[in-house]
Chain A
Amino acid sequence: MNMNPMPQQPGQPGGATPDQLAFFNSIFRENCPFKFVFGGVTGFALGGVFGVVMSSFEFSGPQLTPQLQELSTREQMRIMLKDMGNRSYSSAKNFAVVAAIFSSSECFIEGYRAKNDIYNGAAAGCFTGGVLAAKGGVKASAFGCAGFAAFSTAIDYWMRHSE
């Protein structure tokens, strides 16, 4: 007779009790609106870093006009930093939108299907791609859906089978 509704959880971070674990899960892992916000914040941070990295590649190119070289070093630095800030901010915004829509839609789809497999990521990717490309019409939406779904499925597959 194995009647143990609340078993101990060995190996949990900090030795959490089952109640604490349920609370933690209910906020961070099972709450879809929270995932929207959290995905947005994480996407913003990631996009910012990505934008800084990409902007560092971009500047040492055709932007070096003679006018720019005439300015003092401090002025050049200021212009470069402002450009870097703009690029990283726009990249951060894009990433934030994508991550927020993707994580929240995946959460909702998983909650609806009550299953955890690879099709959740594909469907969420299709929805995200479709929404992002919605301004270009139906065909662009379809392409966005297919592309993002393929990307998301590939990442999911790699994450699930990488061990």
Chain B
Amino acid sequence: MSFFMNSAANQTVNMQNMAMAEQELEMVSDLFNRIVSSCHTKCIPKTYIEGDLNKGEAVCIDRCVSKFFEVNKSVGTKLQQMSGAGLPM
């Protein structure tokens, strides 16, 4: 099992896969940073009493992340419907 045979053919596929993987990694990390930034702004007030999350903030962050993904999913579904029906975006 040598990886050095068909190196030319493997090269193109690997490049495509790598580009896709890079794009997906960028998307995921962008999503993560957006969630962190938005939920931090919404849920954690500006005056810090201590370093740990108290119960209110923990519940708020759970709800915030869950809502973010719900919004993400429903917007994605809507966009898919619109692009499927051929409507201009």
Contacts and interface: CB of A to CB of B under 8 A. Distances in A.
Interface of A: 1-3, 5, 11, 21, 25, 29-30, 107, 110-111, 113-117, 120, 160
Contacts of A111: 55-56, 59
A11 B70 CA distance: 36
Majority DSSP secondary structure for residues of A touching B: loop
A3 B34 CA distance: 11
A97 to B, nearest CB: 22
Contacts, number: 42
B60 A160 contact: no
Given A111-B59, A160-B49, A116 B54 contact: yes
Interface of B: 29, 32-33, 43, 45, 49, 51-60, 63
Majority DSSP secondary structure for residues of B touching A: helix
A58 B19 CA distance: 83
A123 B24 CA distance: 47
Contacts of A113: 56
Q: Enumerate the 10 nearest inter-chain pairs by beta-carbon distance, A residue then B residue, closest first.
A: A116-B56, A114-B60, A114-B59, A110-B56, A30-B55, A116-B54, A115-B56, A110-B55, A3-B29, A111-B59
A114 B56 CA distance: 4
A160 B48 CA distance: 10
A114 B63 contact: yes
B60 A1 contact: no
